[in-house]
């Protein structure tokens, strides 16, 4: 895989991010969802264009892998995540195996509205 920061940047800019409404008053962030075709089929959400399903899922997984390989450890609410900072945002997933990772999150780095501090464990 020859996946670069440009690929990652293109991906995150091409997504339609939603606001996580239940968190907006203490930890505002956005997210995108991705499901493999078989899961979408099981939930009757597959559009029956499975090449598109597979391409979208692959793009999501590539972005998640890029975060995991290039991110840094960040402690947030007693859990340690791998977060990647790009531009004004930090990107992370909950850390499940890639096959069961459905959500990619982003939040403004050091967002003053966030009531919970992120501790960057790999910084001096």
Q: What residues make contact with Zn ion under the rule CB under 5 A? A: 37, 46, 50, 53
Minimum Å distance from CB 57 to Zn ion? 9
Minimum Å distance from CB 51 to Zn ion? 8
Do 81 and 96 form a contact (C-beta atoms < 8 A)?
no
* CB-nearer residue toward Zn ion: 24 or 38: 38
Minimum Å distance from CB 34 to Zn ion? 12
How many CB atoms lie under 10 A from the CB of residue 63? 24
* CA-based nearest residue to 50, from 40, 60, 42: 40
* CB-nearer residue toward Zn ion: 37 or 84: 37
DSSP string, 43-77: TT---S-HHHHHHHHHHHHHHHHHHHHH-EEEEET
* CB-nearer residue toward Zn ion: 32 or 53: 53
């Amino acid at each position: 895989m020859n996946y670069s920061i440009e690929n990652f940047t293109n991906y995150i800019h091409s997504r339609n991010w939603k606001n996580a409404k239940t968190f907006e008053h203490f930890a505002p962030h956005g997210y995108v969802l991705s499901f493999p075709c078989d899961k979408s089929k099981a939930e009757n959400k597959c559009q029956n264009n499975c090449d598109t399903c597979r391409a979208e899922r692959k793009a999501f997984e590539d972005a998640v892998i890029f975060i995991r390989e290039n991110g840094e450890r960040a402690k947030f609410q007693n859990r340690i995540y791998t977060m990647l900072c790009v531009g004004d945002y930090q990107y992370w997933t909950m850390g499940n195996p890639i096959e069961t990772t459905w959500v990619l999150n982003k939040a403004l780095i050091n967002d003053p509205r966030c009531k919970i501090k992120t501790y960057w464990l790999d910084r001096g």
